Amino acid sequence: MRKRSLPQPEERTERRISAATSLSICALTVIAQIVLTLALTQLLAEKISYVYFILELAGAVVAIWVYLRPGSPSYKLVWMCLLLALPVAGMILFLLWGGSHQAKSLSLRKVAPPVEREGARQASAANVAHLSRRSPAWGRLASYLQSRDFLLYGGSQARYFAEGADFFDDLVLHLQRAEIYIFLEYYILAEGQIWDRIFHVLRERAAAGVEVRIIFDDFGNLTRFSDASLQALQDAGVEVEVFNPVHRYVNRIYFNYRDHRKIAVIDGVHAYTGGINIADEYANLFVRFGHWKDTGVRIDGAGAWGFASQFIQMWKMIGRSLPNEDDYYRPRVEIEGTGWCQPFTDGPLNNPDNPIEDTYLQLIASAQKMLYITTPYYAVEESMQKALCIAADAGVDVRLVVPAIPDKKYVYMVAETYWGELLAHGVKIYRYTPGFVHAKSVMVDREVALVGSTNMDYRTFQLHYECAVLLYHMPAVEDLLEDMDRMVAQSAPYTLAEWDQRSWLRKMCASLLRLVAIWF
């Protein structure tokens, strides 16, 4: 198999003279674009007024066009305000940052996932029919995702991990047992104790003839994964792809369109996902924002193929090929399991069709007794905000667990702007007092759970590549509920009185930040 080499030293120097320099160049480029655009606007207004008037009219036309486009109302509102208030600057910035062409121009090809065998499609349809008879609402949800080519799998088991340390111990154990292939796709690979353990196993397995492939996001690793570590992977025979290199797109908002997924697949039989990246803080090996609470799940059996298929699709979207036919990577072992699982993904190439956002809406609308959610960030569309309020008004026990120690204070301030309305409608909000909640999960009526890389914010639903798995009537749903109960017991309720008592300055700053939340 011909190896594709990593960037040569001079190319790596161009890409990352240093992480700080790369980020600084990108940030300065963005600032320069804004300054030059505003200066051009002022010049036109003062010197060539008739041209400026024409451009004002053009800005209004573009604003109307933005309004009529399908897509996120929040996204459209921000651009319409900018286009109407600063038409010239707004049009230039919209061309740079606002068009859907950005997501389609990141050297990615729109590639279909591996073609499913007819038998697998028939099995999925039978599973959906069985689930529909047992729980009509969940049958509709599974049918919706199946219509997007995400199959519903039986013959699977799920194990839930309530802490990152347990997750990594289990992951390393199964990596050591790999015989055919290992796929890893992560937003963050950070050097440290966890990476040293995993790299040791990857090197040993690659030497034993196991096919090892890794995709990691460039922005997530600029400051945390060195060229020496990249070269060590290459020297060990590991195939590596860096997703969306920052240096190629300094003319854009470089922190958008990231690969935020967390996927590990071993031999097509075991797959992992959740909120956990490969970094020491996820195992609480050092203190960062108090106790770092994160969770994950391992899928064994037929459902693991759903994640292998997602990795293969992304590998080909980047422009790479595989040495074997897709069927080579399918599971070769059958197991028995209770319930069903449904892995699925989302990304900006799907816009305005967003399966993850639609799935959240269906989970909320289908809840009858209880709806528990954990999320580190909260900045949703009005439709989702209203759905949560309606669920609480209808008597559903709606609980939202968020960090008490946020990693990004400005994002936390934006989240607060939504909480007053939720609290007024009876949604219970809990701040996890031991530290930072990074877990991304939903549990509904002790029947269905979602675990994945998905935050409840605009970036997840519109801008990033994400993944998740739905568990229907699987024992792991109860394990998730028990963990959520423990989180609530360790948390402090956030009250409407506390929300009202925020200072006027904090309220004003938070409202302004909310207006531009789509950019961070």
Which of these three, 300, 315, 339, is where a domain ends? 339
Can you give the pLDDT at residue 270? 98
Q: Is 261 a member of any domain?
A: yes
- The whole-angstrom separation of Cα 182 and Cα 184 is 7
Based on the fold, state whether residues 142 and 207 are members of the same structural domain: yes
Q: Is 2 a member of any domain?
A: no
Do 224 and 234 touch, CB atoms closer than 8 A? Answer: no
Can you give the pLDDT at residue 60? 82
Which of these three, 35, 65, 99, is where a domain ends? 99
Can you give the pLDDT at residue 166? 98
Can you give the pLDDT at residue 400? 99
Q: Is 29 a member of any domain?
A: yes
Domain range enclosing 210? 118-339
Based on the fold, state whether residues 146 and 92 are members of the same structural domain: no
Q: Where are the alpha helices (DSSP H) in 148-192?
A: 164-176
Which of 109, 229, 236 lies closest to 182 in space, CA to CA?
Answer: 236
Based on the fold, state whether residues 322 and 377 are members of the same structural domain: no
Q: What contacts 58, CB < 8 A, 6 or more positions away?
A: 87, 91
CA distances from 499 to 145, 362, 494, 502 (A): 37, 28, 8, 6
Terminal alpha carbon distance of the chain: 41
Based on the fold, state whether residues 300 and 366 are members of the same structural domain: no
Can you give the pLDDT at residue 18? 47
Mean pLDDT by 10 residues, the chain (520 residues): 43 46 56 65 65 74 80 76 75 67 56 86 97 97 97 97 98 98 97 97 98 93 87 95 72 68 98 98 96 98 97 92 90 90 90 89 98 97 96 98 95 95 98 98 98 93 93 98 98 96 92 76
Based on the fold, state whether residues 277 and 311 are members of the same structural domain: yes
Based on the fold, state whether residues 172 and 91 are members of the same structural domain: no
Based on the fold, state whether residues 476 and 334 are members of the same structural domain: no
DSSP 153: B
Which of 320, 277, 248 lies closest to 167 in space, CA to CA?
Answer: 277
Based on the fold, state whether residues 261 and 299 are members of the same structural domain: yes
Q: Is 264 a member of any domain?
A: yes
CATH of the domain at 512: 3.30.870.10
Can you give the pLDDT at residue 202? 98
- Structural domain count, the chain: 3
Can you give the pLDDT at residue 31? 66
Q: Is 347 a member of any domain?
A: no
- Residue 243 tokens read as 């997703």
Based on the fold, state whether residues 61 and 177 are members of the same structural domain: no
Do 389 and 420 touch, CB atoms closer than 8 A? Answer: no
Buried b (16+ CB within 10 A) or exposed e, 193-232: ebbebbbebbbebbeeebbbbbbbbbbbbbebbeeebbbe
- The whole-angstrom separation of Cα 360 and Cα 461 is 10
- Residue 425 tokens read as 């409608």
- The whole-angstrom separation of Cα 238 and Cα 259 is 19
Based on the fold, state whether residues 309 and 401 are members of the same structural domain: no
- The whole-angstrom separation of Cα 520 and Cα 517 is 5
Do 114 and 328 touch, CB atoms closer than 8 A? Answer: no
Based on the fold, state whether residues 142 and 46 are members of the same structural domain: no
Based on the fold, state whether residues 302 and 361 are members of the same structural domain: no
Which of these three, 298, 315, 339, is where a domain ends? 339
Q: Is 92 a member of any domain?
A: yes
- The whole-angstrom separation of Cα 255 and Cα 67 is 25
Helix (H) or strand (E) holding 77: helix 73-85
Q: Is 3 a member of any domain?
A: no
Can you give the pLDDT at residue 350? 76
* Residue 258 dihedral angles phi and psi, to the nearest 5°: -100, 155
- Residue 483 tokens read as 């963990």
Can you give the pLDDT at residue 41? 63
Omega before 475 within 30 of 0, i.e. cis: no
Q: Is 6 a member of any domain?
A: no
Can you give the pLDDT at residue 45? 63
